[in-house]
Chains A and B, each alone.
Chain A
């Protein structure tokens, strides 16, 4: 059959855009349908880390794809720059997980050694305070900082520029982008699906649901094996200061343009993206324990977003049992995994998405049996 589009992607956040980019690059006729301004839009509240350390400590396959994507990122950032002219400010200077107690340092060492035991190319080292001070000559560390777990696998990007570059690149590669559309139905038709929004009707042979926390809206009608437990994270953003910190870190990132981003909270509050004074206090205390001089900076913004989290934190890459032409993708680390999603994962989808490469990420682990 000859539909206008081979693939319709529901969701134009960092996940949908990356997959669309990869499929368009492979010459597929793809439409990405992005939500309206009242959508939750987790991609626009992201911290921007490409974080590998400790990721997938309970799921080796998750660690493997995380590492794969982080390793693909340098070339991918270059590709985006050449195609779109947008420098996404990718850095791979390594990541620091600051420890403010000996017991925390011991926990991080145990996790690191466990990961290194499973993954031969895993890198981490515990740095004591004096090594940290040598590494960070322009920063005064708080008195409680006793160690940090450091890994050169970690890095960061500007997440808003990543989203912009992915969507711009997708269109340059021949993709069709529809924005401001609320999809109210996805209906099976002969040889494909019909997607109806407030303004358009689109027919496509296959559908990829990558709508973040809103993906569950389609779970019942399309029989998608997905369960999500949204978690709010708040951030504080400071005024710009001269660059002194170019590492990725747990809860502290200084952008290329000087702003300190401070995180974060982990809150189960339904679908609220409100910011709270309690959240601000938690974030500020945490950051000031590590870098007390941040306390003199003006806070210029505070925002909240909802992490797209499955019950075990591991992504879901799966298909509808009733409609095999409908795929669902849901993950928390859309920025870290963007290079994978636009590369090997898009190739896998283009080939049908049926071989078991991503079997570890099947959603039935939540929707069937005792695991539910």
Chain B
């Protein structure tokens, strides 16, 4: 039903930093970000530069985001499902 690359799945909604965003079931999470007006996925530490999906094949780690119940993942390696709660990594995670 879904190829994982082309947005051919059924329409679903996810949230990015609490805002509702339209997506297709089974598409790559990074692809959702690339359709947003603000495509950035994380803020680099310590340079404070915004970063966005770049290599799209799991190598560069620029598209890291936080997904509820999963943790930190590369959004180019993650498919979308209805109700997914995603947060940009604008602040470094804490060790404890």
Binding site for B on A (CB under 8 A): 138-140, 239-244, 256-258, 291, 293-294, 297-298, 300
Q: Give A310 Cβ to nearest chain B Cβ, in Å.
A: 35
Is B71's CB under 8 angstroms from A242's CB?
Answer: no
Answer yes or no: B19 CB below 8 A from chain A CBs: no
Is B92's CB under 8 angstroms from A140's CB?
Answer: no
Among B44, B64, B72, B94, the residue within 8 A (CB) of A242 is B94
State in angstroms the CA–CA spacing of A140 and B95 once bound together. 9
- Chain A residues near B93: list those with CB within 8 A: 239-242, 297
Among B46, B61, B96, the residue within 8 A (CB) of A293 is B96
Answer yes or no: B45 CB below 8 A from chain A CBs: yes
State in angstroms the CA–CA spacing of A244 and B95 once bound together. 8
A257 and B95 in contact (CB under 8 A), knowing A239-B64, A298-B72?
A: no
The residue on A at minimum CB distance from B61 is A300
- Chain A residues near B44: list those with CB within 8 A: 257
Binding site for A on B (CB under 8 A): 44-46, 61, 64, 71-72, 91-96
State in angstroms the CA–CA spacing of A200 and B92 once bound together. 48
State in angstroms the CA–CA spacing of A244 and B61 once bound together. 21
- Chain A residues near B96: list those with CB within 8 A: 138-140, 293
State in angstroms the CA–CA spacing of A297 and B66 once bound together. 13
Q: Give A317 Cβ to nearest chain B Cβ, in Å.
A: 38
Q: Give B81 Cβ to nearest chain A Cβ, in Å.
A: 20
State in angstroms the CA–CA spacing of A298 and B92 once bound together. 13
State in angstroms the CA–CA spacing of A291 and B96 once bound together. 10
State in angstroms the CA–CA spacing of A297 and B71 once bound together. 9
Among A294, A298, A300, the residue within 8 A (CB) of B95 is A294
Among A240, A291, A293, A300, the residue within 8 A (CB) of B92 is A240
State in angstroms the CA–CA spacing of A57 and B43 once bound together. 45
Q: Give B61 Cβ to nearest chain A Cβ, in Å.
A: 7
Is B95's CB under 8 angstroms from A256's CB?
Answer: no
- Chain B residues near A293: list those with CB within 8 A: 95-96
Is A138's CB under 8 angstroms from B92's CB?
Answer: no
Is B71's CB under 8 angstroms from A241's CB?
Answer: no
Q: List 10 A-B residue pairs with CB atoms under 8 Å apart, sorted by A's residue number.
A: A139-B96, A140-B96, A239-B64, A239-B72, A241-B95, A242-B91, A243-B92, A257-B44, A291-B95, A293-B96
> Which of A140, A258, A293 has its CB near the most chain B CB atoms (within 10 A)?
A258
Is A240's CB under 8 angstroms from B95's CB?
Answer: no
Q: For the A-B complex with A242-B94, A297-B95 known, give 5 more contacts whose Cβ atoms are closer than 8 Å.
A: A240-B92, A240-B93, A243-B46, A258-B45, A291-B95
Q: Give B41 Cβ to nearest chain A Cβ, in Å.
A: 13
Q: Give A103 Cβ to nearest chain B Cβ, in Å.
A: 29
Q: Give A259 Cβ to nearest chain B Cβ, in Å.
A: 10
State in angstroms the CA–CA spacing of A240 and B61 once bound together. 11
State in angstroms the CA–CA spacing of A309 and B9 once bound together. 55
The residue on A at minimum CB distance from B42 is A240
State in angstroms the CA–CA spacing of A203 and B21 once bound together. 64
The residue on A at minimum CB distance from B74 is A300
- Chain B residues near A240: list those with CB within 8 A: 45, 92-93
> Which of A239, A244, A257, A300 has its CB near the most chain B CB atoms (within 10 A)?
A239
Is A138's CB under 8 angstroms from B71's CB?
Answer: no
Among A257, A294, A297, the residue within 8 A (CB) of B45 is A257
Among B45, B61, B91, B95, the residue within 8 A (CB) of A139 is B95
- Chain A residues near B45: list those with CB within 8 A: 240, 242, 257-258
Is B95's CB under 8 angstroms from A242's CB?
Answer: yes
The residue on B at minimum CB distance from A300 is B61
